[in-house]
Structure 1
Amino acid sequence: MSSPTQAPVTRRRVFYLPGYDPIHPRRYRELYRKEGAEQAGLSGYDLALSARTSEGRYGWQVDAYIDGHDIHTEFDVLVWSDIVRDSMERGIAGTYLQLIRTAWTYIASGALFRLMRLRKGPVIAALYPVGFLLVQLALALLLAFGVWYGFVAGWEALFRKPDQWFSDGFTFAIYAGIPISLVAAYLLLRWFKARDNKLFAYYLMHDYAYSAQSKGANPPELEARMAEFTTEIAAALTTDVDEVLVVGHSSGAHLGVSILADLIRAGRMPENGPTLSFLTLGQVVPMVSFLKDAHRLRADLHYLSTREELAWVDVTAPGDGCAFALCDPVAVSGVAPENQRWPLILSAAFTQTLSPERWKALRWRFFRLHFQYLCAFDRPGDYDYFQITAGPQTLGERYADRAPSPSRITRATSRFTSMAA
């Protein structure tokens, strides 16, 4: 790797790795357009987004004028939403089977209780779909019983003789009422599922189940897609840009760890190529690395944490209840080497970088807060997503003199630390 760029960045390539998200990546383009314009207005720089002109994955381009410099940035979204959608194609019964398997994986392994020692917020977020799906099931069963009881009582009221409480008709009503009550229960569960775009119970259940199904190992289809991403990033490192920046958000953070570890191990870093930077946002790495068979991820965390070929900055915030805020993903996974240098753990400090009015409006919107890292701050500190992705400094230069957050958590907590499959 070349030494860190001292001249201002004028051309950059950004690869954005989303989390477990089934929605088309245009949502990220529109989010960048809207929030970037707001941040530019608040911070006093120019930012213009336009359609990309080059071939490749879904993306866009940004032209910015910041601190007296013109910067051109090409964005690529490393899409795996099709894999996510395929993993979500389970019926109601299949989702409840997932619930049982996922809960057993985290509880029996002890991972759930160890995760709670780090941050309770993301564990509560993980328990939310379990609890809410069980509530839905309980309501459906209660409805089924009510329908059955009403059917049987109604039948007897209409057809029993005055001096006879039990009859063949009563027996018929008992059995005939069962399928009717089950249909009513199913329709209620269908009603809940149809509104999951507001409840998120099924979505989150599929999310946690995706990693738990293989106890932390990557499914084959995901490994194949990650290999494609590695090749694309390697190709970008041979182009005429000043920085190649990989951004991993939420579950995309641990995918980025393995992708960049593979890239560097394979010797695919050109000798005098662009600066390689890695930004992880709202990471949930421990949800995977604490599982028994997450050997690959733990080995990649161990390896990447020592490399000089890149700069790795991890940004979270205690106000984000869906992330393991200020938890060093390498250290808490129990695989930190003595010569660990990455990641630099920083706080986005929502309570300080958002005005009291905006914080009040967002405080209880947990899923929206999980995306705040990609949005505008009306009291920005040194974390500015748009200056990082479209400004004149590389990620390493921007935080060269920045000390890690004094509140970071580094105690080894995972029960499983094996790095050999």
Structure 2
Amino acid sequence: MTSTPDPRHTLGPTTDPTEAAPARAVRRRHVFYIPGYDPIHPRRYRELYRKEGPEQARISGYEIALEGRQGGDVYGWQVTGRIEGAEVAARVDVLIWSDIVRASMGHGIAATYLQLLRTAWEYIATGALFRLMRLRKGPVIAALYPVGFLLLQLALALGLGWVLGAGVTAAGQGLGLGRAAALPGLVAGAALAVTVLRWFKARDGRLFAYYLMHDYAFSARYRGANPPALEERMAQFRAQIAQALCQDSDEVLVVGHSSGAHLAVSILADLIRAGEVPEDGPQLSFLSLGQVVPMVSFLPRASRLRADLAYLSTRPELYWLDVTAPGDGCAFALCDPVAVTGVAPEGQIHPLVLSAAFTQTLSPERWAALKRRFFRLHFQYLCAFDRPGDYDYFRITAGPQTLAARFAGRAPSQSRITRAVNRYRSTA
């Protein structure tokens, strides 16, 4: 179900948190990038920025340059942008939790299938799966893909094992072994089944079945609550952002992609609750990209996330822009994460929900090349568009306007979904 813009979501004079002070020009920006559930070293994000930034600059007629940063405890890079007649220096830090992701993925084949049963049961028994389908079918299909494909792998492995086992047994009986022929048949069949399963697992870098299964199981294991190791890491991230807010940047921009978006919600809510946003400090901005918040907020024990969503949606200390695209089958496109979770308070002013409109901002040729590459499209928000519209990741991260100034006066997408469909709405 979709709805048209309403006054709560139109950032006008009475609701825009940036109206309290004149828009400032940005000369120095500190960007914190929070990845989604990703076990790979964060250099992939640096190389993506290095490749896509200059390409977008070439298309859009500005300049952008990246330099690696040596030493220090935080992985990141420096960016210089010459955009819209101004030069901007940006520091980009990646807030790393890939070690926690890798630890959660350290399971064998049998343990992964046990995860499959537990995760499927969690989403089905709680009714979350069916309610999520009322929002967007794409991310639900993406969630069902690892379940279906892993079961298909298991069926194929068992089927081939049974055929070989039956053949070996029949051959043994033909040699006069009688019932004793069943044992070598069983061993041969089991060995082939295990070999087939291992073959599939070794190729999961292209199939993504195990990877996605671990991703969904990570949230389902604690029924929507954060595991202790992640909560500890999020507290460290909050401290890093708080420190940046006491330095001389003009804007501190937090970017949360995919699962990183809901981590950012809780981190920023904690930051503001603790009074760590100085009144005379940098503009605090939050950009959520390709968010999958409902996959977590619809689970029974996600009360912490639901409370943080409700709290953050009313706070004037920051500006929150949420960008998704219907062409991204892995995201809950144009779903207001606060409203669909069922915790939208009366005074909600965030987020502004906009579409990256892949079918319009990518040429027909580029769209045709990408539209079936579902996981690549989930990262398109961080890449160049050959027919760019208002959304431009590189202007946002290296341009001279704050996020609030760049999107001032914009109404939300008319196709955004605000209907509350979540069964679990406790914020206790």
Cα deviation code 1:285-321 (max 9, x no counterpart): 0000000000000000000000000000000000000
Partner of 1:164: none
Q: Does 1:28 align with 2:28?
A: no
Q: How far apart, in 2, do the equivalents of 1:353 and 1:176 lie? A: 60
Partner of 1:73: 90
> How far is the alpha carbon of 1:322 from its aligned partner?
0.3
Maintained 8 Å contact 1:5/1:275: no
> How far is the alpha carbon of 1:50 from its aligned partner?
0.3
Q: Does 1:301 align with 2:301?
A: no
Maintained 8 Å contact 1:351/1:359: yes
Partner of 1:150: 167
Partner of 1:166: none
Change (3 A) 1:198 1:54: closer
Partner of 2:107: 90
The letter of the residue matching 2:254 is V
> How far is the alpha carbon of 1:5 from its aligned partner?
5.5
Maintained 8 Å contact 1:59/1:74: yes
The letter of the residue matching 1:96 is Y
Q: Which runs of structure 2 are paired with 1:267-286 in the superposition (5 Å)?
A: 267-286=275-294
Partner of 1:266: 274
Change (3 A) 1:53 1:69: farther
Q: How far apart, in 1, do the equivalents of 2:393 and 2:52 lie? A: 10
Cα deviation code 1:307-360 (max 9, x no counterpart): 000000000000000000000000000000011000000000000000000000
Q: Which runs of structure 2 are paired with 1:326-341 in the superposition (5 Å)?
A: 326-341=334-349
Q: How far apart, in 2, do the equivalents of 1:27 and 1:156 lie? A: 57
> How far is the alpha carbon of 1:8 from its aligned partner?
1.6
The letter of the residue matching 2:327 is G
Q: Does 1:368 align with 2:385?
A: no
2:150 is matched with which residue: 103, 121, 133?
Answer: 133
SS in 1 for 2:82: strand
Question: Greater relative contact order: 1 or 2 (C-alpha under 8 angstroms, separation 6 or more)?
Answer: 2
Q: How far apart, in 1, do the equivalents of 2:138 and 2:391 lie? A: 22
> How far is the alpha carbon of 1:56 from its aligned partner?
3.5
Q: How far apart, in 2, do the equivalents of 1:4 and 1:397 lie? A: 11
> How far is the alpha carbon of 1:170 from its aligned partner?
1.7
Q: Does 1:224 align with 2:229?
A: no
Maintained 8 Å contact 2:24/2:402: no
SS in 2 for 1:269: coil
> How far is the alpha carbon of 1:7 from its aligned partner?
3.4
Partner of 2:14: none
Greater alpha carbon shift after TM alignment, 146-155 vs 40-49 = 146-155
Q: Percent identity?
A: 70
Q: Which runs of structure 2 are paired with 1:103-118 in the superposition (5 Å)?
A: 103-118=120-135
Q: Which entry has the higher C-alpha Rg, 1 or 2?
A: 1
Partner of 2:33: 16
**TM-score, with normalisation over the residues of structure 2?**
0.95
Cα deviation code 1:257-312 (max 9, x no counterpart): 00000000001111210000000000000000000000000000000000000000
Maintained 8 Å contact 2:139/2:330: yes
Q: Does 1:356 align with 2:364?
A: yes
SS in 1 for 2:133: helix
Greater alpha carbon shift after TM alignment, 143-152 vs 88-97 = 143-152
Partner of 1:397: 405
Q: Any runs of at least 4 consecutive aligned residues in structure 1 with deviations exceeding 6 A, and if so which?
A: none
The letter of the residue matching 2:422 is S
> How far is the alpha carbon of 1:123 from its aligned partner?
0.0
1:245 is matched with which residue: 239, 247, 253?
Answer: 253
Maintained 8 Å contact 2:340/2:417: yes
The unaligned stretches of length 5 or more in structure 1 are: 161-168
Maintained 8 Å contact 1:111/1:290: yes
Q: CA RMSD in A?
A: 1.1
Maintained 8 Å contact 1:327/1:408: yes
Maintained 8 Å contact 2:24/2:250: no
1:122 is matched with which residue: 128, 139, 143?
Answer: 139
> How far is the alpha carbon of 1:75 from its aligned partner?
0.4
Maintained 8 Å contact 2:289/2:324: yes
Partner of 1:207: 215
Q: How far apart, in 2, do the equivalents of 1:179 and 1:306 lie? A: 63
SS in 2 for 1:248: strand
Partner of 2:188: 180
